Amino acid sequence: MDGRTARAAKNRQAVLDAALALIDEGNLQPTAQAVAERAGVATRSVYHHFRDLETLYLDAAQTQIARHWVVLLEPVTGELGERIDALVTVRSQLFDNVTGTRRAALLREHESAVLSERLNESRAALRAHLRTHLPELDALEPAAREAAYAMCSWETWEVLRRHQSLSPAEARAAVTAVLTRMLTDRARG
């Protein structure tokens, strides 16, 4: 890679990292100027590397997926209680790591077909992950099964952490308790 190509790749990554840092700090819709300032590049560099801000935000979301979603690839084994604990722990780590980006994406979900599609894909992947590792869900009535999926969603995590001010440990305990109750009551019934 020649010097110019290396500098371009470095600047592009700096812009992506700056956008993610601003989003994680709570600036869910950073401007090109704010991103450029954080990255230490000219504002025109943002548009040199990304067609528009939506493209930047989409690439930022893809970067988060590459960095954090790998936790879903690890197998979860053991007895029901062990699998529930492991799944809730994995999801809590993932959800805490992607919360800023997820909030930013939700702001644009209704105006961006691409973001809407990406969010729907992530929701489907999370459901499939849960279904794969907790086949006991199939024995639940459809309404209870949907409630279990909702209980294990990022949206529920957001309510527990942000709106109910629970610590990560408290939020994990809440999700674990409900999911355990739902699945063990079914097994006893």
pLDDT at 70 (0 to 100): 80
Domain boundaries, the chain: 3-50, 69-188
Distance CA 132, CA 43 (A): 45
pLDDT at 8 (0 to 100): 83
Longest dimension (CA), the chain: 67
Q: Tens place of pLDDT for every residue, the chain, 189 residues?
A: 678 888 888 999 999 999 999 998 989 889 999 999 999 999 999 999 999 988 888 888 888 888 888 877 788 999 999 999 999 999 999 999 999 989 988 988 898 888 898 899 999 999 999 999 999 999 999 999 999 999 999 999 999 999 999 999 999 999 999 999 999 975 554
pLDDT at 151 (0 to 100): 97
- Could you report the per-residue pLDDT of 63-102, keeping only the tens digit for each? 888 888 887 778 899 999 999 999 999 999 999 999 998 9
CATH number at 3-50: 1.10.10
Read off the pTM. 0.82
Quote the strand ranges of the chain, DSSP E.
none
Whether the CB-CB separation of 41 and 58 falls below 8 Å is answered with no
DSSP of 75-92? ---SSHHHHHHHHHHHHH
pLDDT at 5 (0 to 100): 81
Whether the CB-CB separation of 176 and 72 falls below 8 Å is answered with no
pLDDT at 1 (0 to 100): 65
Nearest residue to 127 via CA among 103, 110, 152, 102: 152
Ramachandran angles phi, psi of 108, nearest 5°: -110, 0
pLDDT at 159 (0 to 100): 97
pLDDT at 187 (0 to 100): 52
Quick one: CA dihedral 40, 42, 43, 48, positive or negative?
A: negative
